[in-house]
């Protein structure tokens, strides 16, 4: 191995993350994109990489070629979801339940296979997130827009409870509409404000909540879609 490893190949997502091109890629050394935590983690795991051919590194920050921080946890989130059968199943349940209750398609036409449904859901511009049916609902899934809105990651998502992102108006509105969601299967919520996990106010034009059914037609979770959201 060279004293300073340089990148020799990257797919489009890798080039986007590093903010570079295939031509300029080989001018970037590995140490330049890692923060101190990343360098220490890599040094610790490097013997395992050489012996076993792989290693799992903890989430952290790296730098793009322009010097901007990039979460490599986010960079691999989509890849991780694509390989999870549970995520494919949940995406299918979300889409099917939305169509059954609201009578329209949630996703663009053409998203039929499991992978296409999850991919379309993941890249949907509206924030879509699911929470558990518990006394204190916690989030269990979010698409990329949902993670961006909540300013969190898939790993940290399940530490966020629904009540923490709603303001007083949102809580009252949800309490009023919750019986309708459970009885009729969905409810349309007025626009308002909520909070990201970092406490930043987020405005949304309107929201839709619907009951997600599993294969046995039992309620699995509640899904929310925040439409035309933006940070205030």
CA distance 166 to 138: 13
Shared domain for 133 and 227, answered yes or no, is yes
| pLDDT single digits (tens) 11-33 | 766 666 666 666 666 677 767 76
Q: Are 141 and 217 within one domain?
A: yes
Residue 60 Cα distances to 24, 69, 111, 170, angstroms: 24, 10, 33, 33
Please indicate, yes or no, if residue 154 is contained in any of the structural domains.
Answer: yes
Supply the pTM of this predicted model.
0.67
pLDDT tens digits for range 144-185: 999 999 998 888 898 999 999 998 888 888 888 989 999 999
132 and 213 assigned to the same domain: yes
* Residue partners of 147: CB distance under 8 A and separation at least 6: 74, 77, 153, 154, 157
* pLDDT-based confidence at residue 202 (cuts at 50, 70, 90): very high
Domain stops at, among 45, 63, 78: 78
What is the residue range of 54's domain?
A: 12-78
- Cα–Cα distance, 227 to 129 (Å, whole number): 12
Tell me, yes or no, whether 225 lies in a domain. Answer: yes
- Candidates 56, 32, 231, 61; CA nearest to 150 is 231
For the chain, the domain total comes to 2
Instruction: Establish if 16 belongs to a structural domain.
Output: yes
Answer yes or no: do 144 and 208 share one domain.
yes
- Shared domain for 74 and 134, answered yes or no, is no
Q: Is residue 91 part of a domain?
A: no
Residue 44 lies in a domain: yes
Q: Tell me, what's the pLDDT at 2?
A: 47
Q: Is the pLDDT of residue 129 over 60?
A: yes
- Residue 141 is assigned to a structural domain of this protein: yes
% of the chain residues with pLDDT over 90? 45
Residue 39 lies in a domain: yes
What CATH number is associated with residue 172?
3.30.450.20
Q: Is residue 114 part of a domain?
A: no
């Amino acid at each position: 191995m060279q004293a300073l490893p340089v990148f020799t190949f990257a797919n489009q997502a890798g080039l986007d993350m590093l903010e570079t091109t295939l031509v300029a890629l080989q001018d970037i050394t590995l140490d330049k994109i890692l923060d101190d935590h990343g360098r220490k983690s890599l040094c610790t795991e490097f013997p395992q990489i050489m012996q076993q051919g792989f290693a799992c590194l903890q989430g952290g920050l790296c730098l793009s070629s322009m010097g901007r921080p990039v979460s490599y946890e986010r960079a691999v989130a989509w890849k991780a979801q694509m390989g999870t059968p549970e995520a494919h199943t949940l995406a299918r349940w979300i889409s099917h339940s939305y169509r059954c209750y609201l009578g329209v398609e949630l996703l663009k036409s053409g998203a039929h296979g499991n992978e296409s449904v999850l991919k379309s859901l993941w890249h949907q511009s509206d924030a879509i997130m699911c929470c558990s049916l518990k006394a204190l609902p916690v989030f269990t899934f979010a698409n990329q827009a949902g993670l961006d809105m909540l300013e969190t990651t898939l790993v940290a998502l399940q530490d966020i409870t629904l009540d923490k992102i709603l303001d007083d108006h949102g809580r009252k509105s949800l309490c009023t509409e919750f019986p309708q969601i459970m009885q009729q299967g969905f409810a349309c919520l007025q626009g308002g404000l909520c909070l990201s996990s970092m406490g930043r106010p987020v405005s949304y034009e309107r929201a839709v909540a619907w009951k997600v059914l599993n294969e046995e037609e039992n309620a699995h979770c509640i899904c929310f879609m925040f439409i035309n959201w933006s940070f205030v």
